[in-house]
Amino acid sequence: MRILDFFKRFPDEESCKQEFIQFRLNEGVKCKRCNSLDHYWKKKREQWQCKECRFQTTIKSGTVMENSKLSFQYWFITIHLLSCTKKSFSAKEIQRELGHNRYQPIWEMAHKIRSVMGLRDDLYTLKNEIELDDGFFETVDIRRDPNEPLKRGRGSQRQTTVLVMAESREVELTERNKKYKHQKKLGFLKMKVITGGFSKKLFTPRVNQSVDPDTIIKSDGSTSYSELKDNFNHQPETIPKKDAEKILPWVHKAISNAKRMLLDVHHRIDDDFLQNYLNAYVFKLNRRYFTNLFDRVLIAAVNNQWNYLGETSG
Ligand SMILES: [Zn+2]
């Protein structure tokens, strides 16, 4: 959504609130006590009341905004900023744009939005044929004992392992792109932070959660992937470094683009929050053909974790 359209649609706090109510109604307001979807709207109190058990649900309750004192307008502008460009904004920049005096609530709001983007993408599993690889992202561990010496390479406190899975299928070679031997088209992508080391014990369950059984998985011959053959059509191959970008083009592009974006915008990434930053990057990439990402994020935002109804529309 362009910025002029944004301010035409949401000129003030009331218009943001009304749209939020409308999005909640479209997705279905669910009673936290009895799970019923039938409610009365109590106009005076601006709350829903469950027709079954009379439990009251406020406008923000059960959504990403639950317990937030920030205005709807703050949330909407932040959702817009986090979805309107291919890159991103840091919480510091958002705080400056909003003119808010405290950093912490703005930082929390931005992370909550990134986190519901991830929850939304978790509803999908990858299928048909995927590329799989892992990458290392530079992070800081703010809880690390500063006297403890840093380890090098894999397992170091400064690097966090990310498992990357991308639907990728061969497309017919046209005259124009015949020079690329492995022309592949990207489908849906997932990037998952692996905490606690580098082993098949940690990798296998993540792949099982993210990928449909019997999917063809292309990867290198790392022993960390040796259990994938149990559930999938795993086709590992020894990949010389110079061919990696040809054989697994999309996972490599995703890793290098995400790293560049994170460094540009956030400079230092705390390892506890790397997954959230990746959620936002992946959410936007997966919806690269949508023209209005704001609405896609708002759908994710009204459906907080407990409230998913099973139906998905992107
Ligand atoms: Zn109820």
pLDDT in tens, 162-220: 999 999 988 877 766 666 555 789 999 999 999 887 788 999 999 999 999 999 999 99
**pLDDT of 307:** 45
* Other CB atoms within 10 Å distance of the CB of residue 279: 26
Residue 172 CA, ligand 1 centroid: distance in Å: 54
Q: Give me the sign of the Cα torsion angle 170, 173, 177, 181.
A: positive
Which parts of the chain sit beneath pLDDT 70? 142-157, 175-182, 304-314
The alpha carbon of 48 and the centre of ligand 1 are apart by a number of angstroms equal to 10
pLDDT of residue 103: 96
All domains in the chain, ordered by first residue: 3-122+292-307 (no CATH), 129-286 (3.30.420.10)
Give the number of other CB atoms < 10 A from CB of residue 90.
14
Give me the pLDDT at residue 148, please. Answer: 64
Cα-to-centroid distance, 51 and ligand 1 (Å): 7
Give 61 Cα–ligand 1 centroid separation in angstroms.
Answer: 14
Cβ 146 vs Cβ 121: under 8 Å: no
For residue 233, what is the enclosing H or E element?
strand 233-237
Based on its alpha-carbon atoms, the radius of gyration of the chain, rounded to whole angstroms, reads: 22
How far apart CA 167 and CA 132 sit, in angstroms, is 9
Q: Which of 121, 91, 122 is nearest to 109 (CA)?
A: 91
Cα of 118 from ligand 1 centre, angstroms: 28
pLDDT of residue 47: 96
- Cα 26 to ligand 1 centre (Å): 18
C-alpha–C-alpha distance, residues 68 and 75, integer Å? 10
DSSP label of 241: G
- Angle CA 12–13–16, to nearest 5: 95
Q: 29 C-alpha to center of ligand 1: Å? A: 10
CA 314 to ligand 1 centroid distance, Å: 28
Beta-strand ranges (E) seen in 43-183 are 47-50, 56-58, 129-138, 159-170
Report the alpha-carbon distance of residue 301 to residue 34 in Å, rounded.
22
Specify the pLDDT at position 169. 87
| Residue 78 to residue 170: CA distance in whole angstroms | 38
DSSP, res 188: E
Nearest to 299 by CA among 111, 79, 86: 79
At residue 170, the pLDDT reads: 83
* Cα gap 171→126, rounded to integer Å: 18
Give the environment of ion ligand 1: residues with CB less than 5 A: 31, 33-34, 36, 50, 52-53, 55
Q: 304 CA to middle of ligand 1, Å?
A: 17
pLDDT at 115: 94
Q: If we measure between CA atoms, which residue out of 254, 297, 295 comes closest to residue 278?
A: 254
